[in-house]
Chain A
Amino acid sequence: MFSEQLVDLSRLQFAVTAMYHFLFVPLTIGMTWILVIMEAVYVMTGNQIYKDMTRFWGKLFGINFALGVTTGITMEFQFGTNWAYYSHYVGDIFGAPLAIEGLMAFFLESTFIGLFFFGWDRLSRRQHLLVTILMAVGTNLSALWILIANGWMQNPVGAEFSYVTMRMEMVDFWAVLFNADAQAKFVHTVSAGYVTGAMFVLSISAFYLLRGRDVEFAKKSFRIAAAFGFASICSVIVLGDESGYTVGEAQQTKLAAMEAMWETEPAPAGFNLIAIPNEAEMKNDFAIEIPWVMGIIGTRSLDKQIPGIKEIREKNRERILSGMEGVTALEALRKDPADAAMKARFEEHKADLGFGLLLKKYVADVRQSTPEIIEKAVADTIPRVTPLFWSFRIMVAFGFLMLGLFGAALVYSLKGNFADKPWLLRSALWMLPVPWLSCELGWFVAEYGRQPWTIYGVLPTHMSVSTLSVNSLYGSLAGFIGFYTVLLVVEMYLMVKFAKLGPGSLGTGRYDNEYAHA
């Protein structure tokens, strides 16, 4: 099998490149709709300032978008370069949404983004608005398809293993498409993107207002961001990922781990507001519990139980023992496909095949698994609780913090006196990084919480990588970190420069700071 070092480095490289990519994606997703709103107001009212808003915020959007594209290509390469066995094993299902994403979404987004920037003088107002809308639709559709792919990793429906082709094969495309997990993820993730876009516009507009420059421009931008942001943060919280956590076992395991629920409590379970999880003894050394809340948000009911970690472990032990039989039968079938007895045995244990593969981390021939090895594999089935517990809580706390900010911003927008509230403007400015932190924490919970699997219950992470040398991984990881650091410095430099220049950078002669760049 693969060395632990190779697996860890492959994971690290994926985590670095994916989380870096996701610095740019949410802003792109959110900004597209904000641009649509601004331009729609321009088309409806004919007020020039809304066109300038679309163009100026579009300029900042473009600086961000360039890095989103750059780092996005990495993601598509990386399944093949670093996760070759994964690509073979589940490409039949996982590859399809990626290809459809290209055909249906990326082409749309990328073709119309060109016209968005270059088409102002060549298109009628309505045509240009249509271009902006299509760009936004394309961007959001790409989020849909990638989350269908990711949702399948969490809850692999609509597919079956074939011992002839030695891989998972699609049996029901609609099940993959309408995977409840994917739908919940989509709503939650794009809403988080909308919040990010809104915060970006809100913060920078607040900055202009605090400086007393481009006041009309900033006020109009602030109002749009406040309204859009408030609606979006409500969507993130209410239609949160939580609704997906009852779907499938992966999510149940994740839920138990991120809530530090060691025992199965009678329904409705309590919610650990704060706890100090003790992983070794499988208990919480300290916890402040709010009764009922977990059961209600987790199951949307008062009588359904949520399984605790200890119960899940016991179930997994059964599945590992069954999976051991499945792997043994599979390996025999690969040598002699005609062996009917083996085939029957394989079919019987097929559902637990992935759990049998967990043993391969410790032993090549799973029949030689000792009780200690089985115990290790059982322990592996639960991700580490402490990082998940805290990441989730910080993300949620940030969510409510932003709800407060956008709520206040909206109330004072409606009253029309937000520009006279320096505390509000300063809060908006200082909270700029919060949506990014929340998004990254959210991804961490989603992906780290699925460990030890790449595809829950189907393919363990330690079997998913490419047969590469550890040195190759050190080299490529260093290359990515080097490139990405330089690119981030360049991007931040330009972003800060143009945010500071403000709408004057358009060179229209209508704004403050008009000649600063000359």
Chain B
Amino acid sequence: MLDYPTLKIIWWLLVGVLLIGFAIMDGHDMGVGTLLPFVGKNDVERRVVINTVGPHWDGNQVWFITGGGAIFAAWPLVYATAFSGFYWAMLAVLWALFFRPVGFDYRSKIANATWRNTWDWGLFVGGAVPPLIFGVAFGNLFQGVPFSFADNLMSTYSGSFWGLLNPFALLCGVVSTAMITFHGAIYLMHRTDDAVYRRSRTAMLIFGGLLLVSFTAAGIWLWQGIEGYAITSTVTPGALPNPLDKTVVREAGAWLANYDRHPATMLLPVLAYAGALTAMLLAANGATLAAFVASSLAILGIIGTAGVSLFPFIMPSSSDLRSSLTVWDSVSSQLTLNIMLWATLIFMPLIIVYTSWAYKVMAGKVTAAYIRENEHAAY
């Protein structure tokens, strides 16, 4: 069995991998959902758009479900505190996600324009709201969240839903939405032709630009305007987790301290820019598959930047500093982390293999002709 400090770090990385996997896989079909009402101007075009992700959205959504399950298993205190504290934000994500399975499966089963148009906007909500709220949630993590633990580790959240919607958090919401929509636009370019392709190309340029601008703005704001958090007591990485057993201070610039300490981590923001710019360039020239890889790398860079800036914090508390949750003190037991690591090492490669196979089977452009031929079978 690996030692406890190593497992704690591995699980920080693995949760990151799952979040990045979620953003790349479920992200592209959420982006497709967001763009659906705008790049599809008539029913056949909209069905083309929907069918690019038709066979895959359900598998992709499992990245989200598994990410949630992994946070529950590896960071139970984070799962408990974040989900209950962000109660209405979480319900908004959940209720937005309701529109996806039924939207995809039910939309084309009835040939009625109002029915179909309603589900199209439902798919828009299901695609646009979750990335927006996740971005807002990340924005709030940087500012600290008002929660505290009682002596028995029962958490109380003292903020409100509207308090989450502050300017910096909303800016992070824009970064996240732009990132996902940009990525979805590239995927759509890869899988469509004609008018849908051209409109997706325009969307790709708009959201790529928005991503670069908003990411830069958020970075400058974080550097100049947001106080970070730092642990002042001695950290014993191998200790049994107890979040109340530490002291924490707020200090300016603390969120950038890791880049000074480990300059190699600067590669992550660099990857964010390089990936996004390369993806725009490649996509604009029609190299859509390579562009999809580049935008996936951009996602890795952006989420990685957020994670490294926060490290070792996961969820800092603004109302009771020592209650802040970190990678050292919000984790499961050594045994559970170890079992979960084995489960991930065994199943993740299998998942990647059969998911790739599924995409390979369904590869190629989805065209208007395909929709007409598969009137009853396609979404």
Contact = CB atoms under 8 A, between A and B. Distances in A.
Contacts of A104: 343, 347
B220 interface: no
A114 B358 contact: yes
Given A106-B66, A110-B59, A472 B94 contact: no
Contact of A70 (B74, B98, B154, B333): B98
Given A84-B84, A96-B73, A166-B152, A103 B351 contact: yes
Contact of A88 (B54, B104, B153): B153
B216 interface: no
Contacts of B335: 169-171, 173
Question: 10 closest A-B pairs (Cβ-Cβ)?
Answer: A91-B76, A80-B83, A102-B66, A95-B73, A114-B55, A111-B59, A466-B84, A99-B69, A95-B72, A84-B84
Interface of A: 55, 62-63, 65-67, 69-70, 72-74, 76-77, 79-82, 84-88, 91-96, 98-104, 106-108, 110-115, 117-120, 122-123, 134, 162, 164-167, 169-171, 173, 331, 334-335, 466-468, 472, 475-476, 479, 483, 487, 490-491, 494, 497-498, 505-507, 517
B94 A84 contact: no
A467 B84 contact: yes
Contacts of B347: 100, 103-104, 107
Contacts of B355: 107, 111
24 contacts: A63-B106, A66-B102, A69-B58, A73-B61, A76-B68, A79-B79, A80-B90, A82-B84, A85-B80, A93-B336, A99-B69, A99-B73, A100-B343, A107-B351, A110-B61, A114-B56, A115-B55, A118-B54, A120-B377, A167-B76, A169-B333, A169-B336, A334-B151, A467-B157
A476 B72 contact: no
A69 B61 contact: yes
A64 to B, nearest CB: 10
B127 to A, nearest CB: 15
B162 interface: no
Interface string B167-187: 000000000000000000000
A95 B11 CA distance: 14
Interface of B: 54-59, 61-62, 64-66, 68-70, 72-74, 76-77, 79-84, 87-88, 90-91, 94-95, 97-98, 100-102, 104-106, 109-111, 151-157, 240-242, 332-333, 335-336, 339-340, 343-344, 347-348, 351, 354-355, 358, 361-362, 375-378
B1 to A, nearest CB: 12
Given A91-B73, A98-B73, A76 B65 contact: yes
Nearest to B105: A66
B80 A87 contact: yes
Contact of A106 (B65, B79, B155): B65
Contacts of A490: 102, 106
Contacts of B156: 467
Contacts, number: 251
Contacts of A55: 377
Classify the secondary structure of B's interface with A.
Answer: helix
B361 A115 contact: yes
Nearest to B91: A476
Contacts of A483: 95, 98
B84 A122 contact: no
A476 B56 CA distance: 30
Given A87-B79, A88-B155, A100-B347, 18 more contacts: A62-B105, A66-B106, A69-B61, A73-B98, A79-B72, A87-B80, A91-B79, A92-B73, A92-B336, A95-B76, A96-B343, A102-B65, A103-B344, A103-B351, A123-B361, A466-B84, A467-B84, A494-B110
A85 B65 CA distance: 21
A472 B152 contact: no
B102 A81 contact: no
Contacts of A334: 151-152
A92 B358 CA distance: 34
A69 B101 contact: yes
B81 to A, nearest CB: 7
Contacts of B336: 92-93, 95-96, 169-170
A467 B59 contact: no
A81 B362 contact: no
Contacts of A87: 72, 76, 79-80, 83
B87 A119 contact: no
Nearest to B343: A100
A476 B106 contact: no
B76 A70 contact: no
A162 B80 CA distance: 18
Contacts of B57: 114
A117 B88 CA distance: 35
A487 B343 contact: no
B377 to A, nearest CB: 7
